[in-house]
Amino acid sequence: MNATAHDIRIRPGNLADAPAVLDMLDSAVAWMNDRGNTEQWGTTPYSQKPGGVARVERYMTENAPHIAELAGTPVGALVLDTGPSPQMPIAPAEEPERYVRLLVSDRRYAGRGIGAALLAHAVEEARQAGVGLLRVDCYAGGRGELVAFYERSGFIPTDRFLSGTWPGQVLARRVR
């Protein structure tokens, strides 16, 4: 029997989840590269990028990490914060917000609604915190597939930006 979105369990993440998240990021880089996308995250596995391991460890300890599991196996990760990364050329919101710093799913489980389940969880986390705005930034290059994914999840494009030569898009979703 194939797992479905109803089988996904989301739990708080912690430092012990860093290796699984790094594996997901590495497999995402390989998956994108296999499809000709070398601009979004480059060609170097995330775990081998300078600062990659330390960044994931910070996410797991300094931010609000959440891990999606299927039958006890980590298959996705979401990291929330109270604003965008200071390294990104993105203005802070003029109101309290929750900001998606990381959203990744294990490509072996593609098409099972893991990303959508994690974003629904982010909406609920913001709602429970009494925060009315959820934002995310993503790669806006290629054919715009990632922007379209967030739009299907209820986000509206707001500001475009460049981080070096990397084209980005900020998207926002109101939480009620």
pLDDT per residue, tens digit, the chain (176 aa), is: 344 557 999 999 999 999 999 999 999 999 989 988 888 888 999 999 999 999 999 999 999 999 999 999 999 999 999 999 888 889 889 999 999 999 999 999 989 999 999 999 999 999 999 999 999 999 998 888 999 999 999 999 999 999 888 999 999 999 98
Can you tell me whether residue 105 is helix, strand or coil? strand
Residue 166 lies in a domain: no
Residue 34 domain-assigned (yes or no):
yes
Show the DSSP H helices in the chain as ranges. Answer: 18-34, 52-62, 114-128, 145-152
Residue 172 lies in a domain: no
CATH number at residue 40: 3.40.630.30
150 lies in a domain?
no
Instruction: Give the strands of the sheet with 98-105, arranged side by side.
Output: 8-12, 64-70, 73-81, 98-105, 133-139, 166-174, 156-163
How many domains in the chain? 1
H-run or E-run covering 11: strand 8-12
Domain span at residue 13 reads 5-85+92-131
pTM: 0.92
Distance CA 19, CA 165 (A): 29
